[in-house]
Amino acid sequence: MPEFLLKLALGELGSLMTTGQRVTPRKAFEAGYPFHHVTLDSALQAIFPETTVIRRAA
């Protein structure tokens, strides 16, 4: 769907869907929450170890 249609139909939400939003867990870090995986990369590595093969259907 073209970006301008999303913005027209959804307003600010349309912009958010096309440009994204940076979110950080600042409050949780400040409160001392112990994250098991601090980065997305480390979480994905834990979920999908290097021995896992994901193939796209042809």
Is the pTM here over 0.75, yes or no?
Answer: no
Q: How many Cα atoms within 13 Å fall on the side-chain side of residue 37?
A: 9
In the numeric block, the tokens 């913005």 are attached to: 7
Q: What one-character DSSP code corresponds to residue 7? A: H
Averaged in consecutive runs of 10 residues, what is the pLDDT profile of the chain (58 residues)?
Answer: 80 77 84 89 85 66
In the numeric block, the tokens 């600042």 are attached to: 26
Which pLDDT does position 51 carry in this prediction? 65
Which pLDDT does position 54 carry in this prediction? 67
Which pLDDT does position 53 carry in this prediction? 61
- C-beta of residue 52 within 8 angstroms of C-beta of residue 37: no
CA distance 36 to 40: 11
Which pLDDT does position 30 carry in this prediction? 93
